[in-house]
């Protein structure tokens, strides 16, 4: 019986060796790929979390610089954030905050520089849209109307259509293109929700141009508001 079991064990060992000789390299490769992928994923998650934490620390430094109205420090922190953590939401937030503070301090060129990277480099479409709106406003103040319109052209994320149309209307008014401006204001009026107070301002802009919101648009808005 012992010999019988020894033969069976030897046969099983031979089969196992044959199986491993045939498939061992492939199995080892799969295991390496799987565990290597897990290690890479965990490493990437750690790196992302570390980036976010460090970017948050710089965001705090930005808020402190803004509170102190220290424009030199604002620009220094912003350069650090953009060069080291441009792929984080905190970098976008810091850039918007810095641009406002620099513009308030009369440093429009520096404010433009703070925003310029965002339409292409920011990770969030909403922040990209906000940067374009802020850039358009800064260009309007500089009377660079074509540059302002270039920021306001093209596709925009859902929810920003009304704001972009309204701002385009503002630029066209300044260019004395009243008909085109009225069309943009009407687009904005339609896109803004009825309960938004800003919608009344858009209507006032239309009236100032000698235009009015068509009756059917008002009726349609009233019906959609009642349905809600």
Q: Which residues contact 145 (CB under 8 A, 6 or more apart)?
A: 139, 171, 174, 175
pLDDT confidence of residue 41: 43
Q: What is the pLDDT of residue 146?
A: 96
pLDDT score, position 129: 95
Say which residue, 91 or 228, is predicted with more confidence: 91
- pTM (two decimals): 0.71
pLDDT band at 44 (very low <50, low <70, confident <90, very high): very low
Return the domain boundaries, the chain.
25-144, 158-228
25-144 CATH: 1.25.40
Measured in whole angstroms, how far is the alpha carbon of residue 23 from the centre of its chain? 48
pLDDT digits (tens, 9 = 90+) for 77-131: 888 888 887 778 888 888 999 999 999 999 999 999 999 999 988 888 999 999 9
């Amino acid at each position: 019986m012992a010999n019988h079991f020894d033969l069976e064990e030897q046969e099983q060992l031979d089969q196992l060796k044959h199986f491993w000789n045939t498939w061992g390299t492939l199995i080892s490769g799969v295991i390496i790929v799987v565990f290597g992928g897990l290690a890479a994923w965990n490493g990437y998650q750690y790196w992302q979390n570390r980036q976010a934490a460090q970017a948050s620390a710089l965001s705090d430094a930005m808020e402190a610089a803004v509170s102190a109205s220290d424009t030199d420090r604002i620009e220094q922190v912003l350069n650090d954030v953009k060069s080291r953590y441009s792929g984080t939401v905190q970098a976008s937030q810091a850039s918007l905050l810095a641009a406002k503070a620099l513009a308030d301090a009369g440093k429009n060129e520096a404010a433009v520089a703070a925003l310029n990277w965002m339409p292409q480099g920011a990770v969030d479409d909403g922040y990209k849209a906000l940067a374009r709106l802020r850039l358009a406003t800064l260009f309007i103040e500089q009377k660079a109307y074509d540059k302002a319109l270039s920021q306001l052209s093209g596709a925009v994320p859902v929810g920003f259509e009304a704001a972009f149309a309204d701002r385009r209307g503002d630029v066209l008014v300044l260019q004395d293109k009243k008909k085109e401006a009225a069309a943009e204001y009407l687009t904005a009026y339609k896109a803004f929700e009825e309960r938004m107070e800003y919608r009344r301002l858009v209507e006032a802009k239309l009236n100032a141009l000698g235009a009015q919101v068509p009756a059917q648009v008002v009726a349609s808005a009233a019906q959609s508001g009642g349905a809600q």
